[in-house]
Structure 1
Amino acid sequence: MLIVLTIPAIIVFITLLLTYRSVAKYKNGMLFAVTLPPHVLEHSELQSIQATYRKQFKATWIGILIAYLPLFAMNQWAALQIIYYLLWITISIVVVVFPFRKAFRATLALKRHEEWFVGEKRVIHADLRAAQLKNKRAASPALFVLPLALSVLLTIWAGSADKQLYGIGVCAMVITLLMLGAVMLMLRSKATVYSEHSEVNIALNQLKRRSLSYLFFTLALVENVHFYLIAQQLLNENEQMANLWLGITIGFTLLPAAMIIIVYRRVNAMQREMLELEGKPIYSDDDEYWANGFTYHNPYDKSIMVPKRVGIGETINTGTIAGKIIMGGAVGLLVVVVFGVSFMLIRSELTAPSLTISSDAQVMIDYPMYSFSFAIEEIEEAELVDSVPSGVKTNGEAVSSYARGHFRLKDIGKARLYVFKNNPPYIRLKLADQVVYYNDADPEATKALFEQLQNAMR
């Protein structure tokens, strides 16, 4: 479990580290996301802000690393470990911003005090030709018919093989629709004015929109392949292939991130090169709309998505109605996911499955989300065993101490598990279409339940 948690933690850590380390360097006419003229960089107060930021930045990252260490002591409490992990990621993303916000506000205050304004303040007039031709070379949204068709086929194929795998196809479909939505938002956003010359603005807008639209299209295809491989892993359980599947999972986690970084770096490099050759870039002194240096709120700008000042990609303009809806929905979804997952984990930790036999010869296994019942007469075989075959979870809960829900087991196939791990014996019940494993935390209680089942079957 800890390995599974640590891999995305490393990705998050490195991403945040590289993103916020770069803001202390003057780049694209900005320092700490504040637009500044180049000649002020030697100002003593500005250098003092940079030095203070570097100290706070280092202390923050050391603290984040130290805060991760308690996870290694929580292997025996899986629910607590996952909840702590979710809190660690959430708090890390929030805390890492604090030194940057201080530096941004100090730099902005110094800029206003010294009157270091760059370019036009607040307003840049639109380039009408760029606005008309901005999407000419972008990928057509119709291309997304291909990944959508693949996700539909994946849903049908995976669901027909195992009903528990319908969710994999649905996830692929959702990812594809999110990529399509990102392209649609980008195509609807207004053209960016980079230069006094329309030809430069047209070229740069088309370059960016073409690159990003094909990036999102490719990501949709890649994720469909990723979910297909996940389904194959679940349907063809093989312990010897475990390391290979782990490598594939890591690879498909890193590949989209690498693609995004490469494309954005290429677009930014081309923009810098063209503007340097053209010689007359236009800067917008709209720092007041970047309240924290990374959140954009400009009710006078109708663009829903705008280029980030920190990191790569686009951010949402919360000054628009659509931006407010998107941001509110994203924050609400995050809260629901974190608290929902935490609630389910705590409930699972405090609630154990219970098996009872009703007066009308029904076996009922009661457990939140994974309750199951069947008639005594459906049992083809019943026995006490000392082990449960290895396998993979398709829809359930699996931690170091217990496994509950739907699984696919080696040499067996579909199974339902309600077991405390490493705590034999286990009741094994063979039904027509699947096998059920059950045990109690108390081995003697498991044996007593098995005797009740045997008596009911006579």
Structure 2
Amino acid sequence: MEIMMFIIFIITNLIIILCMQFAYTHAYKYENGMYLNVHIPSSHKEDAEVTEIVTTGKCKMKHFQIANVIISIAICFIVFFNIAVFVLVYIIWMFAYIFGIIHIPNSSHRKMYALKIQKGWIIEAQRKKVYIDTRVSAEAGATTVSYKWHALFLITELAAYIPYFMLGDTHYNILMISLFLCSVLISTLSLVFHAFINKSERHVYSMDSKLNLIVNNTMKKYKSIAMLLLSGLNAVAWIYVALYTGITGILPASSYYVYIFIQLITVLGFIVPIYMGLNRKKELLSANTSPIDVDDDEYWKTGYYYNPDDKHILIENRMQSGNYTFNYAKKGAWIFTGITCTITAGCIILVFVCMLPLINIQEKITLTNNNLTISAGGYTSEIDVNDITELKLLDELPDDSFLRTNGASTDSYDIGRYEGRTLGKCSLYVFDGYSPILMIRSDDTLVFVNSKEDGEIERLYVELCQ
């Protein structure tokens, strides 16, 4: 398990860092009349103050990325020592990385904008202009790649659930329903964004209407392909799990790894077309002989878009290639961001609350006044000795395909609430490699417990039998 987690997280980390490299580093080149997403007159692009800001920012970003490649790989080694510590450290690193990858280019952007204002490099004729290409607008929504293909993926995902529903073991119901809903959610969001892209790609880059049309249609095509690959490959991952579990009746760890592997391919399937589309867009615009320059830096001066006169709430993000951002002049943007941040913060707090007791698991078994209490890793089971109906010492856990419903499972321990295929709901306090295991069954409770201390379980068994 640890080896697979190590491999999966290293690959994931490198993909994340590579994506951020692609999304942010374009700003350090002079493109479309801009440095660091700030319009700078070509006559001043070589000025010492300009090049200093660009060079310093680029150097900081390079060092930041290299450092995080090393850190992200180093963090993954923690998984071999303590998975709970790994999860907590990984979350802290991820948020630190997100903060840094946003702060570094935004900081350089603000410095460049401040320099521009200080130098007065503003062409009033280009400020707050809005260009509309009627030919492009007339074809908004038209595309060679229809978003209706997503409906096929959604139907297939639903159909894949049927074999499991009819043949599968209800033992996996909660997990399978969760995976099914996640798959449907991703495909639905892909459909929505696909339709949104078809209507929103109507930008004006040039006085040449034909070129505008070609560029917009090109970006529609590549982004649409990206959305279809995201939806389709995500469906493949779910269909594999659904059919395998429905036909075989089991869901082994290998199926999880295959599912995760397909999802990693899904991410690449989404990223590659976006990258290809942006490169193609750059090639097309390099031949633009009549570019349109609109100085709207005022709306991006903080690194975030704020334009009260723009009715759109979601727009292309100038700060990140191929991404979208909110117009924070709109109340809805703040509401959505606030809700998202609140949910994220709540999830992080919950993870910390659950993981902290698992850093150093100490099992405690007490028997007082005919009341048996077993606790470990933040989980507790209490049993009235008078209600015990069965006691049994086992050399190992029964082979009952225990499914974790609320607990922690590693190669070292199984702690928390589980459900066996035939035994039903139960609690496990089991450390791998230690025996015997005591099975305790009462009217409404089933517990399996062992101990790292020699003789403790045998003594408990004797006491309970008296």
Q: TM-score, normalised by structure 2?
A: 0.77
> C-alpha root-mean-square deviation of aligned residues, in Å?
4.4
Question: Structure 1 residues 323 and 132, CA, compared in 2 at 3 Å: closer, same or farther?
Answer: farther
Instruction: Point out the more displaced range, 271-280 or 221-230.
Output: 271-280
Q: Residues 257 and 76 of structure 1: is their aligned pair in 2 closer, same or farther, counting only changes over 3 Å?
A: closer
Q: What's 1:147 paired with? A: 153
Aligned twin of 1:307: 316
Q: Compare 82-91 and 177-186 and name the one that shifted more.
A: 177-186
Q: Distance in 2 between matches of 1:16 and 1:194?
A: 25
Kindly state the Cα deviation for residue 298 of structure 1 after the two structures are TM-superposed.
2.0
**Residue pair 1:134, 1:209 contacting (<8 A) in 2 also:** no
Paired with 2:159 and 2:404, the residues of 1 have a C-alpha distance of 19
Q: 1:38-437 residue pairs with structure 2 within 5 A?
A: 38-61=42-65, 63-64=67-68, 67-68=71-72, 69=74, 72=77, 75-117=80-122, 120-137=126-143, 139-155=145-161, 157-158=163-164, 160-161=168-169, 162-165=172-175, 166-187=177-198, 189=200, 191-230=202-241, 232=244, 236=250, 242=254, 246=257, 248-249=258-259, 251-293=261-303, 295-309=304-318, 310-349=320-359, 382-386=392-396, 395=405, 396-405=407-416, 417-427=428-438, 437=448
Q: Is the 8 A contact 2:143 2:198 kept in 1?
A: no
Q: How many residues align?
A: 445
Task: Determine if contact 1:134/1:202 at 8 Å carries over to the other structure.
Answer: no
Counterpart contact for 1:427–1:446, Cα < 8 Å: yes
Work out the percentage of aligned pairs sharing the same amino acid: 21
Deviation at 1:133, TM superposition (A): 1.7
- Render the CA deviation track for 1:429-454: whole Å, top value 9, x for unaligned: 799xxx97432454544334445676
Q: Write the letter of the residue equivalent to 2:273.
A: V
8 Å Cα contact 1:392/1:409 also seen in 2: yes
Which amino acid counterpart does residue 316 of structure 2 have in structure 1? P
1:179–1:216 contact (8 Å) kept in structure 2:
yes
Deviations 1:223-254 (A, max 9, x none): 12113334548964668xx5x974x4564243
What code does the residue aligned with 1:271 have? K
How far apart are residue 155 of structure 1 and its match?
4.6
User: Match of 2:30?
Assistant: 26
Normalised by the length of structure 1, the TM-score is 0.78
Take 1:421 and 1:149, find their aligned partners in 2: how far apart are those partners? 43
Q: CA deviation at 1:260?
A: 2.8
SS at match of 2:28: coil
Amino acid at match of 2:91: L
Cα distance in 1 between the residues matched to 2:327 and 2:16: 24
Contact 2:201–2:216, Cα closer than 8 Å, also in 1: no
Measure, in 2, the Cα distance between the counterparts of 1:16 and 1:301.
Answer: 28
1:403/1:418 contact within 8 Å kept: yes
Cα shift readout 1:348-368 (whole Å, capped 9, x = no counterpart): 5578788999x9999999997
| Amino acid in structure 1 at the alignment position of 2:173 | K
Seen in structure 2, the aligned counterparts of structure 1 residues 158 and 8 have a Cα distance that, compared at 3 Å, is farther
Q: Aligned partners of 2:218 and 2:66: how far apart in 1? A: 40
1:204–1:190 distance in 2 versus 1, CA, 3 Å: closer
Per-residue deviation, 1:278 = 4.9
State the AA in 1 paired with 2:278: N
